[in-house]
Amino acid sequence: MKSKFGLNLMALMLAAGAMSAAQAYDGDWKRGRIYYRQVCTTCHTAELKKAIGPNDKTQAEWAAVFKTDKHGKGKDTVKHFFSKQYRDGIKATNAAAAKFAAVPENELLEDVKAFLNKSAKDGDSPAGCS
Ligand code: HEC
């Protein structure tokens, strides 16, 4: 009995270790701001004819955008716009996509999340698109 308990505890500790390793990356909001402004906002201004300001939504609303991962009316995922493939496709004309071409997708995603969290309507420093 004792050794079985010890094994379970070990498995639990291993699992906890794996989880914290997966979450070890802390979003860099400054890099997120550059990416959001140059990739997301550039297209919203061009196609939507208006920017979507970080402070147009609350932190919970932004979290929902990334959780449901449906972009706009659902044709694309939000993650699509972070993929290397997407960055490669626009990097000839997009400075941020070119600059961050080699950054892992999930890091850029965390960066933008950090920026939006900070700049949301109810964030630490709400920010529009200027
Ligand atoms: C290639 C163009 C393009 C890019 C890049 C783009 N979007 Fe969009 N986005 C649109 C268009 C067009 C709409 C509105 C039409 C629709 O709903 O599909 C939209 C709508 C949205 C909406 C819904 C608006 C609302 O009021 O709820 C959100 C949120 C959003 N985009 C977030 C993002 C984020 C975050 C990024 C960057 C990671 C991004 N978009 C990149 C074109 C783009």
Residues 69-128: tens digit of each pLDDT:
999 788 899 999 999 999 999 999 999 999 999 999 999 999 999 999 999 999 999 998
Tell me, using a 6 A CB cutoff, whether residue 71 lines ligand 1.
yes
Tell me, using a 6 A CB cutoff, whether residue 115 lines ligand 1.
no
Over the range 33-52, which residues count as b (16 or more CB within 10 Å of their CB) and which as e? Answer: bbbbbbbbbbebeeeeeebb
Tell me, using a 6 A CB cutoff, whether residue 47 lines ligand 1.
yes
CA dihedral 109, 113, 114, 116 (to 10 degrees): 140
Tell me, using a 6 A CB cutoff, whether residue 44 lines ligand 1.
yes
Predicted local distance difference test score (pLDDT) of residue 75: 85
The pLDDT of residue 2 is above 60: no
Task: Measure 109 CA to ligand 1 centroid, in angstroms.
Answer: 15
Tell me, using a 6 A CB cutoff, whether residue 46 lines ligand 1.
no
pLDDT tens for each residue of 18-54: 665 556 899 999 999 999 999 999 999 999 999 999 9
Nearest atom (ligand 1) to Cα of 39: 5
Environment class of residue 7 by beta-carbon count within 10 Å: exposed (0-12), middle (13-18) or buried (19+)?
exposed
CB 6 within 8 A of CB 91: no
Predicted local distance difference test score (pLDDT) of residue 24: 80
Whole-angstrom CA distances from 31 to 19, 37, 44, 95 are 24, 10, 19, 13
CB 32 within 8 A of CB 112: yes
Tell me, using a 6 A CB cutoff, whether residue 79 lines ligand 1.
no
Predicted local distance difference test score (pLDDT) of residue 72: 79
Task: Measure 95 CA to ligand 1 centroid, in angstroms.
Answer: 19
The pLDDT of residue 130 is above 80: no
CA distance 115 to 55: 11
CA distance 59 to 121: 7
Predicted local distance difference test score (pLDDT) of residue 99: 97
